[in-house]
Amino acid sequence: MDVSADEIPALDDTPDTPVTEARPSLDDVISKALDEAESEPSGDRARDEKGRFAPKAGEPTPSEAGEAPPEGTSETAPVVASTAPKPEAQPEISEGHFRGWAPEQVQQFKALPPEAQKIALDVVQGRDRFYSERIAEYEQAVNVARPLVNALQPHEHRIRQVTPDPAAYVAHVLDMDHRLQFAPYAEKVQLFAQLAQQIGVPFAPPEPDPFADPMSPMGQAYPVVHDLRNQVVQLQARLQHFESQNSQVEQQKLASTIQAFTSQTNADGSPKYPHFNEVRATMGQLLKEGKAHTMEDAYSIAVRPIEDRISQEITRRLSAADAAKQAALSKARKAAPVRTNGVAPGGVTKAGGLDAIISAALDQAGIQ
């Protein structure tokens, strides 16, 4: 049997000691076989507490930092704690923040540093909020002006024959209508005379009849009665105007409040009140009856049944998923174990277990 140079034991320096060839002991053979088995690449190699492969015999243990200390630096040098302030935690940015963005804009945004991303996102959200409010105001103005434009459009050709400025014509007609409705009696008579002269119709102012009823149009006291009635009508019209204006202001405030309420979002960009449209009527009823004093309280009360149904559905689905998982695990436990072949590729029987490794090492060393 050939013995390699590595297997020859060290010789004694004493000249009287005869040089003999020593055979390896049983402990040496077992230790060497175990070392060789551990040095082979295998998926069963031991790992440390961090999940890394444990170092082989004779290999240096990796440092906790994963780097060797630089040359000229003592390994026992004290570690100085960093006093740099930690960056503030930035809110998580989700896909909800990129609604309406082009793909290349999203890529450019993600390439920015975190501080620049926060500034850019604040600017974009402020701009979107500003334009949303302006668009809401524009739509409200259009809704108010559209009926007036539709009423004037059939007469636009005739109006332009009278004056090139339709707005001035409309203002003149409205002024004449107001004077005919609410001007004093003497001014109305004078206005009728002017209109009759312009359109070519003869008109003579009526003369009061001293024997007629003072309250009738031909009575002597009728001009005073007429003016008093006009004042009452004007006061009523002004009151109605104030009431209508106050109602419009309240509606505008309510619309702005609703717009601000529905546009609120969470940190990830998702709507803060996603079920507002479904519970809008219920919220209005709660506020009207005094059961809620703020929109947040009204939404919380109105959305509670919906959230309960959602929670029940989630619980049901989780229970179904857990039952399916348990059934799959039970089925896997009942399945027959997989039998593996002990023959390695190439037709060589692969050693398995400690006994097989020791036996193979003993055979190689020639020890029976």
Q: pLDDT for 196-237, tens place per residue?
A: 888 888 887 777 676 667 677 777 777 888 888 888 888 998
Pick the more confident residue, 156 or 336: 156
pLDDT of 254 reads 84
Range of the domain at 289: 278-324
pLDDT of 118 reads 87
Per the CB < 8 A criterion, the answer to whether 223 and 186 are in contact is yes
> Does residue 188 lie in a domain region?
no
Token pair in block for residue 207: 């003369």
pLDDT of 367 reads 61
> Does residue 131 lie in a domain region?
no
> Does residue 304 lie in a domain region?
yes
> Does residue 237 lie in a domain region?
no
> Does residue 313 lie in a domain region?
yes
pLDDT reading at 104 higher than 70:
yes
For 125-161, b/e burial (b = at least 16 CB within 10 A) is eeeeeeeeeeeeeeeeeeeeeeeeeeeeeeeeeebee
pLDDT reading at 38 higher than 80:
no
pLDDT of 230 reads 84
Q: Can you say whether the dihedral through the CA atoms of 264, 268, 270, 272 is positive or negative?
A: negative
pLDDT tens column, 58-97: 555 555 444 444 454 444 444 444 454 555 555 567 766 7
pLDDT of 17 reads 45
pLDDT of 75 reads 47
pLDDT reading at 15 higher than 50:
no
Q: How many domains does the chain have?
A: 1
Percentage above 90 pLDDT, the chain: 8
Pick the more confident residue, 43 or 55: 55
> Does residue 3 lie in a domain region?
no
CA atoms within 13 A on the CB side of 106: 11
